[in-house]
Structure 1
Amino acid sequence: MENILNYIKINELISTSGQPKIEQFEQIKNEDFEVVINLALCDSSNAILNEDKIVTSLGMTYLHIPVDFINPKISDLKLFLNAMQAFGGNKVWVHCAKNYRVSAFMYVFHKYILKTPFEQIDLSIFNKWQPEQNWQELMKISLDELYTY
């Protein structure tokens, strides 16, 4: 799995990455992943045409939550958090173009859903990407803000 762009294993049920190549979806399936969630836009530079058909033809569930990299919304984050909780017992692969959107959303997932201690969160992606102010604000969202939106 390490050959997939910016791969990060969160735990036994969740892994994240940048955009997998077509043939890497078969590798993901062979590792018993059941769900693929894509947070990239359809017109991202490395997007795959008909990714939904490729993933579902392999027998995995596909969910696309297109998150605008320039303008991420709290509603996108809430949809992601709800989806992750809904797929809680499944093995889930989450990706976007470079694993930046995913890492920001996963940070909030760690904080409020998994309740992972800060020092145990894999923040290595932030060595490659310094989140802009809008992403920093989204990552700092409080539970009250998240659930009153």
Structure 2
Amino acid sequence: MASDPADIRAWQRLDSQTTTSGRIEEKDVARLAAIGVRHVVNLALETHPEALAEEGAKLAAHGIAYTHIPVPFDAPGEDHFAAFAAAVEQGPHPVHVHCIMNWRVSAFFYRLNRDRRGMPEAQARALMERQWSPDGKDRPEAAVWADFIARKPA
């Protein structure tokens, strides 16, 4: 099997069945297939200038399932999180989850790891902070993300 394409923006391997990154490019589709990815979950908006056009069709051509959950950077919602959790937990594996910078993805995995997988909060936060710390200081939308990650399951 091929080695991880670590030159993809913000590439991160979480475990043997899960990888994450920022935006992917057309050249990355075959590389994801080569490492055995069977499902890609995209949290970015398709209208973003760096989004891969017709991503689902390009992945399908390589036998990779595709789930698109467009999460506005200024308005992540519980519906987005529920769809993400279902896609990651119930979809084919190995799974690769990406957005544009790996910020949305790292925040979503923080909550998944903390709330559903029983990972200690400090460990889940450290994993998220390899990519981003949504503390509300680096850009205005970060405060929205600080609120998002602070939410606990009902």
Shift of 1:133: 1.5
Which residue of 2 is the match for residue 133 of structure 1?
143
Of 94, 98, 120, the match for 2:97:
94
Distance in 2 between the 1:52 and 1:44 partners? 15
In the alignment, structure 1 residue 84 sits paired with structure 2 residue 94: no
Shift of 1:45: 2.1
Query: Where do residues 1-149 of structure 1 align in structure 2 (5 Å cutoff)?
Result: 1-87=5-91, 90-121=93-124, 122=127, 123-126=129-132, 130=138, 132-144=142-154
3-state SS in 2 of match to 1:143: coil
Distance in 1 between the 2:49 and 2:40 partners? 19
Shift of 1:46: 0.5
Alpha-carbon contact 2:134-2:143 (below 8 Å) kept: no
Unaligned runs of 5+ in 1: 145-149
Shift of 1:120: 3.2
Distance in 2 between the 1:112 and 1:15 partners? 19
Alpha-carbon contact 2:115-2:152 (below 8 Å) kept: no
Tell me the amino acid that sits aligned with residue 103 of structure 2.
Answer: Y
Distance in 2 between the 1:143 and 1:15 partners? 24
Q: 1:71 to 1:126 in 2, by over 3 A?
A: same
TM-score (norm 1): 0.89
Shift of 1:26: 0.7
After superposition, the C-alpha distances for 1:58-94 in whole angstroms (9 at most, x for unaligned) are 001000000001111111111111221212x610000
Q: Decide which structure has greater helix share.
A: 1
Alpha-carbon contact 2:37-2:96 (below 8 Å) kept: yes
RMSD across aligned positions (CA): 1.8
Distance in 2 between the 1:142 and 1:128 partners? 16
Of structures 1 and 2, the one with the larger relative CO (CA 8 A, separation 6+) is: 1
Work out the number of aligned pairs and report it.
143
Q: Percent identity?
A: 24
Alpha-carbon contact 2:22-2:102 (below 8 Å) kept: yes
3-state SS in 2 of match to 1:126: coil
After superposition, the C-alpha distances for 1:85-120 in whole angstroms (9 at most, x for unaligned) are 212x61000000111111111110111222222343
